[in-house]
Structure 1
Amino acid sequence: MQKGQLHPAATLSKNLLAKGLFSLMQKKPFTDITIMELCEASQVSRRTFYRHFDNTGQVAAYQTRGIIDEFTAAMKEQKNRPYEAVIEAYFVFWKTHAPLLTLLNQNNLTYVIFTPYLTSLGELPWLFPPHGADHANQEEYFCVLAYHSGGLWSLLTYWIMNGCALSERTLAETVVKNNNAGGGGYTQE
């Protein structure tokens, strides 16, 4: 192993704890889950738990970091596609994680995924480009980026909490139509 590389056993332990946490969250509220209970469900010792985490919130954050890495990679693949296709891909990606997002929402834990989500947008400055934005003013650009991405996140939350009833294509068409009507500032040229 190279310096700084995580030992495979450590990764396995972390993944078992993350899987165990979300399994327990399907049965009971996050705030009622104890570290001892999590360790038993994950078949990981308390010593191993404390080697990697200080609390159960960190376990939830660990699981979501991997998802954000997947999200960033998936959105980078959409870079040169039409905006409607990008938005459709956005919802296709998140639909695969709908059960997790539902659990996070039900347990008031969406911040563990939303905060890194916002941070990831710094790697995707082309994802929500406002029409006519002055990209030389980076602070203003990232404010606009946060504004637009927050709208998509709210729509995503609404969609997931309503059982993903609308198709991803319908959502993308709605977003593009309303942005072009003046509501979002993005227009295709």
Structure 2
Amino acid sequence: MADKKVKNTYVKLQITNSLLDLLKTKELKAISISDLTSTAQVSRVSFYRNFDEKEDVLKEYLYKLVGDWYAESQESGSTSEDEILGSLFGHFSKNKDFYLLLSQRNLFYLLKDMLKELFGPKPEYPNFGAYVAAYFSYGLFGWIEEWFARGMQETAEEMTTLLKNRDLNQ
């Protein structure tokens, strides 16, 4: 059983790396499953055993990156909003190439979905709490999306300070 898991991990890694490479030169919709599996040197069956569609490859990779960030932030003991935001912007800086690729290929909505899942409203929240969580998660996404669109000119620390101060005249 362990051998199958190792093989499956290898296949997923090949598919993920190949898709990221192909996205550097093509839009997602222009990449066929045949192109992807050929580049990854795996079979179509291997692709469909692991993913339903190409977008799922990116979602899984995004979840891994964000999951790694979240685990690191928990281990570091970051508890204040400022520490968590600073850590998050640091994560985006560290993984700049991937997030820029998502932005350039009009796939940044995948990040919005992830942020909503992490910071957005939950069914158990009272109405006001849900509205505040929605405001925060969508607002945070807007800051991040615009930061990437403007070429990430500020450092992660500067972005955290700007968000904390929310001074729109700077």
TM-score interval, smaller chain: 0.7 to 0.9
Taking only the aligned residue pairs, the percentage that are identical comes to 22
- Selected match of 1:161 from 139, 145, 149: 149
CA distance in 1, matches of 2:73, 2:138: 16
1:56-104 deviation per Cα after TM superposition (whole angstroms, max 9, x unaligned): 12222221121221233244345434x4333222211111222222222
TM-score scaled by length of structure 1: 0.75
* Secondary structure of residue in 2 paired with 1:71: helix
CA distance in 1, matches of 2:19, 2:27: 11
Cα 1:111–1:178 shift into 2, 3 Å:
closer
- Selected match of 2:137 from 135, 146, 149: 149
Structure 2: 5+ residue stretches without partners: none
- Selected match of 1:104 from 102, 105, 108: 102
Aligned twin of 1:172? 160
Shift of 1:23: 0.6
Bigger Rg over Cα: 1
Q: Which of the two has greater helix per residue?
A: 2
Shift of 1:137: 5.3
Conservation of the 8 A alpha-carbon contact between 1:16 and 1:42 = yes
Conservation of the 8 A alpha-carbon contact between 1:65 and 1:113 = no
Equivalences for residues 77-156 of structure 1 within 5 A: 77-81=76-80, 83-121=81-119, 138-156=126-144
Structure 1: 5+ residue stretches without partners: 126-135, 182-189
Conservation of the 8 A alpha-carbon contact between 2:15 and 2:40 = yes
Shift of 1:22: 0.8
CA distance in 1, matches of 2:17, 2:137: 28
